[in-house]
């Protein structure tokens, strides 16, 4: 199966336009979007901003692609810049069959391959968001609080690091409970594995990926692991692919003005892998 994977558009119209051209030219059978595809939105009104963007711009685009490319399917995960209320909205489109929301609690099987998705990242130095978790039990809490979506009262709530992280499982604990697909499967996970060529930032001399993700990939052995989140990593390391205990793992990276995406055939991923920017 020929797939196209990209992520981290953060609402960039230019990147969506470039992806439009790529998809019409390449006509892949499946397009996977790896999270952080929307503008952050107003932290006081995520449904009226990010939610509105999803409804008015993003889904319109998916519908247009579905019309233009009737044999192409679309799947996505969310990222740490996305709100839980956006996940609820996308779940409605998932149930309507517009695009598939990948998750680690259920298996999506498509043309002989199974897919699992996972949106969370370890804490970032900015502020707490819905899809951030401690990487492993015992990790230090970050210093800054933030805003998350209160799913009971359907409104934004301000949270301290303790209020957010102490009541949620770590990434390691969540991934341990992931379902186990049979046969060939692909793991789509916003955060890259730690200590790879996929998780480096230009101003830091240490890796910033996830231990839990690395262990999960090494132990569960998907056919392929697709990541995003650390936009600059390919620029820093010169590489967008790595082998995590024998598993081909990819972070295409992203910049605002030039589409970073990969294309590959799941029958022979390593041999057919192409990047829109890197050789
Ligand atoms: Zn991003």
- Residue 193 DSSP code: B
- Alpha carbon distance 22, 31 (integer Å): 11
- Alpha carbon distance 201, 185 (integer Å): 29
In this structure, the chain runs to a length of 279
Domains in the chain (CATH in brackets) are 2-275 (3.60.21.10)
Q: What is the 3-state secondary structure (H, E, C) of 122-182?
A: CCCCCCECCCECCCCCCCCCCCCCEEEEECCCCEEEEECHHHHHCCCCCHHHHHHCCCCCC
Give the distance (Å) from ligand 1 centre to CA of residue 183.
31
Give the distance (Å) from ligand 1 centre to CA of residue 201.
13
Q: Are 125 and 142 in contact (CB under 8 A)?
A: yes
pTM over 0.85: yes
Q: What is the pLDDT of residue 124?
A: 87
Give the distance (Å) from ligand 1 centre to CA of residue 188.
14
Q: What is the pLDDT of residue 269?
A: 98
Q: What is the pLDDT of residue 279?
A: 87
Report helix, strand and coil shares of the chain as percent, to nearest 5: 30, 20, 50
Residue 179 to residues 78, 114, 129, 272, Cα–Cα distance (Å) = 18, 11, 25, 28
- Alpha carbon distance 213, 201 (integer Å): 18
Mean pLDDT by 10 residues, the chain (279 residues): 98 98 98 97 92 96 98 97 94 96 97 98 89 95 90 91 92 98 97 97 94 98 98 96 98 96 98 96
Give the distance (Å) from ligand 1 centre to CA of residue 48.
21
Give the distance (Å) from ligand 1 centre to CA of residue 109.
26
Give the distance (Å) from ligand 1 centre to CA of residue 261.
14
Give the distance (Å) from ligand 1 centre to CA of residue 230.
7
Give residue 155's Cα distance to chain centre: 24
Q: Are 233 and 251 in contact (CB under 8 A)?
A: yes
Q: What is the pLDDT of residue 127?
A: 84
Give the distance (Å) from ligand 1 centre to CA of residue 5.
14
Let me know if 188 is exposed, middle or buried by CB neighbors in 10 A (0-12, 13-18, 19+): buried
Give the distance (Å) from ligand 1 centre to CA of residue 9.
7
Give the distance (Å) from ligand 1 centre to CA of residue 246.
26
Give the distance (Å) from ligand 1 centre to CA of residue 8.
4
Q: Are 165 and 133 in contact (CB under 8 A)?
A: yes
- Alpha carbon distance 193, 207 (integer Å): 9
Residue 20 to residues 13, 29, 84, 152, 277, Cα–Cα distance (Å) = 10, 14, 27, 37, 16
- The structure tokens 């830091």 sit at 204
The torsion region of residue 150 among left (phi > 0), alpha (psi -120 to 50) and beta comes to beta
Q: What is the pLDDT of residue 228?
A: 98
């Amino acid at each position: 199966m020929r797939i196209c994977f990209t992520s981290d558009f953060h609402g960039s119209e230019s990147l969506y336009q470039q992806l439009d051209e790529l998809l019409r030219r390449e006509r892949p059978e499946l397009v996977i979007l790896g999270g952080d595809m929307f503008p952050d939105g107003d932290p006081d009104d995520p449904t009226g901003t990010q939610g509105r963007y999803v409804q008015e711009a993003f889904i319109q685009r998916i519908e247009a692609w579905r019309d233009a490319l009737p044999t192409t399917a679309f799947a996505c995960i969310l990222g740490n810049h996305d709100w839980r209320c956006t996940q609820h909205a996308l779940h409605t489109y998932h149930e309507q069959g517009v695009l598939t929301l990948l998750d680690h609690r259920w298996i999506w099987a498509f043309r002989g391959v199974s897919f699992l998705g996972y949106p969370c990242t370890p804490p970032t130095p900015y502020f707490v968001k819905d899809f951030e978790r401690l990487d492993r039990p015992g990790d230090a809490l970050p210093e800054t609080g933030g805003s998350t979506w209160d799913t009971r009262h359907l409104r934004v709530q301000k949270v301290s690091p303790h209020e957010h992280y102490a009541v949620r499982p770590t990434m390691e604990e969540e991934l341990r409970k992931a379902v186990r697909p049979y046969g060939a499967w692909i793991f789509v996970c916003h955060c890259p594995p730690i200590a790879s060529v996929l998780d480096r930032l230009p101003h830091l001399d240490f890796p910033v990926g996830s231990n839990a993700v690395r262990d999960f990939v090494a132990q569960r052995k998907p056919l392929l692991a697709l990541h995003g989140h650390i936009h600059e990593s390919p620029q820093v390391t010169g590489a967008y692919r790595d082998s995590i205990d024998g598993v081909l793992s990819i972070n295409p990276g992203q910049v605002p003005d030039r589409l970073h995406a990969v294309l590959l055939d799941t029958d022979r991923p390593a041999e057919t892998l192409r990047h829109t920017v890197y050789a």
